[in-house]
Copies of this chain bind each other. A is one copy, B any other.
Amino acid sequence: MKKTLLAIVATAIIIPAAIANNFEEPADAIKYRQSAFSLIAYNFGDMGAMLKGKKPFDAAVFSSRADNVAALSKLPHEGFIAGSDKGDTEALAKVWHDKADFDSKMTAFQDNAAALAVAAKSTDQNLIKQAFANTGKSCKGCHDVYKKD
């Protein structure tokens, strides 16, 4: 029991040390996640414009955008470090209070974005639209709970 607990504590210390400790201060972490979110919004927005007929649907561009969103979806999470609820951010303190739920919503977003990138390589517009809608719901579902209005 003691050994297991020690192993858990050791893991908890080692993993963040390897991944984190790269942001010198919370403001850097905030900027990092905001940069990633803004790139996601830009690429996702262009896909939406194509699906809504605001611009011609270009399968290659759409797929490239979807690949970008899938890759970018993995980035913001790292920026939600402890202490970065204060500062120039729209993230609510609830992110850190309900961290497990926030983390699971972020994972669901990543999964939906990955599925959208796969769907975008098909010619099935219904599949593409459904995958796009699922990803959009992931964004909204998290924003509704964890982002300032």
Q: Write the residues of chain A forming the contact surface with B, with a CB cutoff of 8 angstroms.
A: 17-19, 21-22, 31-32, 35-36, 38-39, 42, 45-46, 49, 55-56, 58, 61, 64, 67-68, 71-72, 74-75
A72 CB to nearest B CB, Å:
7
A18-B61, A74-B68 given as contacts; is B46 within 8 A of A39 (CB)? no
Q: How far is the CB of A25 from chain B (nearest CB, A)?
A: 14
Question: In whole angstroms, what is the CA distance A75 to B19 when docked?
Answer: 24
Prevailing SS type, chain A contact patch: helix
A32 and B39 within 8 A (CB):
yes
On chain B, the residues within 8 Å of A22 by CB distance are 42, 45-46, 49
Considering the complex of A and B, which 5 residue pairs feature the smallest CB-CB distances, nearest first? A71-B71, A35-B35, A18-B58, A18-B61, A22-B46
Min CB distance A22 to B, Å, is 5
Name 9 extra pairs, CB < 8 A, besides A21-B55, A22-B49. Answer: A18-B56, A18-B58, A18-B61, A22-B42, A31-B38, A35-B35, A35-B39, A68-B71, A72-B72
Query: Is the pair B55, A18 in contact by a Cβ cutoff of 8 Å?
Result: yes
